[in-house]
Amino acid sequence: MESTASQPSSPANSRPAVTAVDTLRGLAILAVLLCHAHQVHLRDSSLSEALFGSGFLGVILFFLISGFCIHHPQVGATALKTKPYLARRFFRIYPPYIVVVTVLFAVCAGIGKESGGPLNYVGHLFFWHYWGPASSEGMGITPVLWSVAIEVQFYLMYLLLFPMLRRWGVLRCAMVWFVVDALYYGIYFGVGNGGGLPQPLRPNRFAPTRFGEWLLGAALAEQLVRGRLGTRAVPWFLAAVLLITPSYVAAYHFRVMRDPAFDIPATLALGCLFQAALVGQWKSRILEWIGARCYSIYLVHLPIVGVMGTALNRISITAPFAHFCIAVGTALAAGAIFYRWIELPSHAFARRMGRSLESGAGV
């Protein structure tokens, strides 16, 4: 990390890996996985709710990490090479996504579960999840895909807005975006939770109102490369605690932990935590291993967590906490297998495509 900060003008391909990123990815996916396992298997436990009920924080952290990772190699670039950029993003995200989508639609058809049929499947091919059953609320055939769709929209917004970000500065744009987010939230709540606003325009599902989270991660990448993060991690960690604790307590007390109004203070707190991790070079082998496989775990975990209760009851394992633990372990194992055979080859192909287009296309 010190070498990165001490070479603010170093070219992107010579910048060392940021060791804290996979550790934070591991924390993020564990927050999501434990939250969903809690909701399925320990939902009547108030202690479990307090410990594991804030999985949405993992999603916010993922958005921050994504902005950081996408912008980190582009800091100092005069232009974004469109074809290599799109190729890397597409082959990094799409093949694992479409494998999970296709398998789940096939399973639903095989067991007679309502899925929205072929039209909803076609929508999923284009990251549109609003043609399914009303009960799905636009979250996808597995209710984590909404954030994948938003992530794809972030990639496109970044491509379109790159000249503006370069001219005005990413940090400044992130701050302005948070103001716009707050105004949108205010209007949304001011008209009675949207006043019948279509689901795709709800604040927590509308990419433009969450782009500030992604931009904050990009701003951290820029500060890191330019050597402006500082050298002390503890103040940033304490700032994260001071920001998140009162907000978390209030949100938990008033049962609004999944309310969009909590997103902005949570994002600022996690931004401080991210900065502390970057400065302190946080590193955990276990979390790094999980973090490297986080996308695969994210895609496959919820169906596995959902079926584990029924499967375990059939073999006379009925204790809710046993269900919780076995479901978490099985989801991690399944994610690791999916990563090895689906996601990892997709990564390799995305890198080859990006290098090929960079050497031949130029734009």
> Per residue in 113-170, pLDDT tens?
989 899 999 999 999 999 998 878 889 999 999 999 999 999 999 999 999 999 999 9
CA contacts within 13 A on the Cβ side of 254: 10
Among candidates 278, 293, 280, which has minimal Cα distance to 331? 293
Residue 363 within a domain: no
In a domain, 156, yes or no: yes
Long-range contacts from 246-253, C-beta under 8 angstroms, 24+ separation: 248/54, 252/49, 252/50, 252/53
Entry pTM: 0.92
CB-neighbour burial class of residue 269 (10 A; exposed 0-12, middle 13-18, buried 19+): buried
Please state the domain count of the chain: 1
What are the structure tokens assigned to 99, written together? 């494998």
Angle at which helix 320-338 crosses helix 20-41, to 10 degrees, equals: 140
- The three-class DSSP label of residue 274 is helix
Whether 128 maps to a domain, the answer reads yes
| Regions in the chain scoring below 50 on pLDDT | 1-11, 257-258, 362-363
Q: By residue range, what is the domain housing residue 296?
A: 2-358
Instruction: Give the C-alpha distances (Å, rounded to integers) separating 217 from 29, 127, 326.
Output: 17, 23, 34
For position 304, what pLDDT does the model report? 96
pLDDT at 363: 47
pLDDT tens digits, 276-289: 999 999 999 999 99
